[in-house]
Amino acid sequence: MRLARRILPFAACVVIVVAGLAVPQIRQKIPQKPQKPGEEKPAVEGVYAPQEVASAEKLTDAVGFPVRDIASLKEKATDRSYVTYGDGLAEITYRWDSQSICFRQSQGQEDNSGDYTHYAEEKLIVVGKYSVTFKGQEKGSYMLATWSDGTYSFSVSATQALKKAEFLGLIEEIEKNI
């Protein structure tokens, strides 16, 4: 009995080591379906893999709902990008000088901004027929605005704070396009 207690753990270790060595060799012997040229599997980055497209029209096609440029920002921007994340989130980023403004639209009513910063100033303001949450570090200057029309969620974020009036103008322009 004492001998069995000493040998049993050693035997278990040997079995584990042998099984570990055998599994890769067994996998190599399993026949693989040959791939034809051009059938290579695409690299997948995940469900939220970003896909850049050329315009708001192409973004509309990619996400399956209407997405429109913010005309005043499109004119001002020296660079624009149109991105979908594969989960029904459309994003248009407008860049010029040191400013970058990101407009997001998605189906549903959740905050789609992706901005989880704690801001010192948070204010709910009615703009047209929507209740918009404004967030920023100083009173009267904001970095983020979020709202929903019941069908879609919207957000506008800026790298440099915007005055309340500037944000209101952008939101009113977006409302006219909806």
How confident is the model over 63-109, as pLDDT tens digits? 999 999 999 999 999 999 999 987 789 999 999 999 999 999 999 99
Mean pLDDT over residues 28-45, rounded? 51
- Is 31 inside a domain boundary? no
Starting at the edge strand found earlier in the chain, the sheet holding 99-107 runs 51-53, 79-84, 89-96, 99-107, 152-163, 141-148, 130-136, 121-127
Q: Which helix (H) or strand (E) holds 100?
A: strand 99-107
Q: Is the pTM of this model over 0.75?
A: no
Position with higher pLDDT, 28 vs 148? 148
- Is 140 inside a domain boundary? yes
Domain of residue 60 covers 51-177
Residue 67, pLDDT score:
96
